Amino acid sequence: MSKADLDWKSLPFGYVKTDCNIRFTWRDGSWSEGVLSADETISIHIAATCLHYGQECFEGLKAYEQKNGEVVVFRIEENARRIVRSCEKIFMEPPSEEMFIDAVFRVINANRRFVPPYGQGASLYIRPLVIGSGPQVGVKPAEEYTFLIFVSPVGPYFKSGFKPVNLVVEEEYDRAAPNGVGDVKVGGNYAAGLRASLRAKEAGFTEVLYLDAREKMYLDESGPANFFGITRNGQYVTPASESILPSITNDSLIKLAGEMGLEPVRRPIPVEEIFDFVDAGCCGTAAVITPVGSITYRDRKVSYVTGDVPGEYCTRLYEKLTGIQLGLEKDTRGWIRKVPTE
């Protein structure tokens, strides 16, 4: 089948209409069979719990066309596990891990012509979503759920691609509370982050770097991605925090950093340590690895790069990670799974 007629190289991180999405409904104790639909809209009860009480969670993963033409996904089992945790935390009915993986494969197969060709710097972003679609007026879990997945060919999340971004430490607003829901992928966390993010953008920064909400002393994460720094003594450090999303990309980098001779350490990171790093980055499915060019904290700014050139460690980690995803590096850990053709 020939590819869709798109300008693959200049795709933004945004929505592109594809051939179809897939939907399931949970009602009376079981999930329906998945239905592929070309409809870009859903019809929903006006009292659905997702609309009123935030019963909603999502996932984000990517399909890549490798050099040999195979279409693959990266660590899909981890996304399957995480959506179950997200659902359970806000009392929604989760899809089983097997159902999740099968649904992702079906929707990719139905949209194969939208998987960006190898070498264009683009991928097929997969966005699974679970919502409470049944009505409630009192605050309680819905009795009906909808699980759907749409896909969209995308380019880099940060417009500049693999180019340094400028972060500002956010001291006033919190994204998530300790013992709250910051460690799962629920929509409310992103709504809560809009104020800080928009304010930072207006002030000329790319994104914010949140601090822990309890003490405002330790680094948490950025709005759409985890954070890591490289210390002078060769450690890959990344925040241990109960209010950040456990990033699958970060978990992968921790393993790759070890292989590269860095010592991976997950621990609380006092904000003042930003002034000692030799390199830093944001990481996530959408952000991949985005080198951090500078961080501004109060009236001080620290820079990790000269001009527009990403730091050495970010570059090596980026090449290693994307090399595995694109099939240029050996996948020794079973992270890559080929999308089976039906």
Place of tokens 């079973």: 334
Phi and psi, residue 300, nearest 5°: -115, 145
In the complex, which residue's CB is closest to ligand PLP? 284
Number of residues that bind ligand COI (CB under 6 A): 5
Six token digits for residue 75 = 């660590």
Q: Which residues contact 43 (CB under 8 A, 6 or more apart)?
A: none
Q: Looking at 100-108, 232-240, 281-289, 300-308, which segment touches ligand COI (CB under 6 A)? A: 281-289
The one-letter code for the residue type at 264 is: P
Q: Does 60 bind ligand COI (CB under 6 A)?
A: yes
Site pattern 192..211 for ligand COI (x: CB under 6 A): --------------------
Q: Please list every residue from 278 through 307 that binds ligand PLP, using CB under 6 A.
A: 284-285
Q: Please list every residue from 242 through 271 that binds ligand PLP, using CB under 6 A.
A: 245, 247-250
Q: Which residues contact 213 (CB under 8 A, 6 or more apart)?
A: 174, 175, 176, 177, 178, 220, 243
Q: Are 167 and 125 in contact (CB under 8 A)?
A: no
Least CB distance to ligand COI at residue 57 (A): 11
Q: Looking at 108-116, 260-268, 283-291, 296-304, which segment touches ligand COI (CB under 6 A)? A: 283-291
Burial class, 75, CB count within 10 angstroms (exposed 0-12 / middle 13-18 / buried 19+): buried
Q: For this structure, is 185 an active site residue?
A: yes
CA atoms within 13 A on the CB side of 246: 12
Q: By CB under 6 A, name the one of 54, 60, 135, 141 that touches ligand PLP.
A: 60
Instruction: Choose from ligand PLP, ligand COI, none: what does 226 bind? Cβ within 5-8 Å by kind.
Output: ligand PLP
Q: What is the DSSP letter of 233?
A: T
Which residues of this chain interact with ligand PLP, rule CB under 6 A?
60, 221, 224-226, 245, 247-250, 284-285
Active site residues: 185
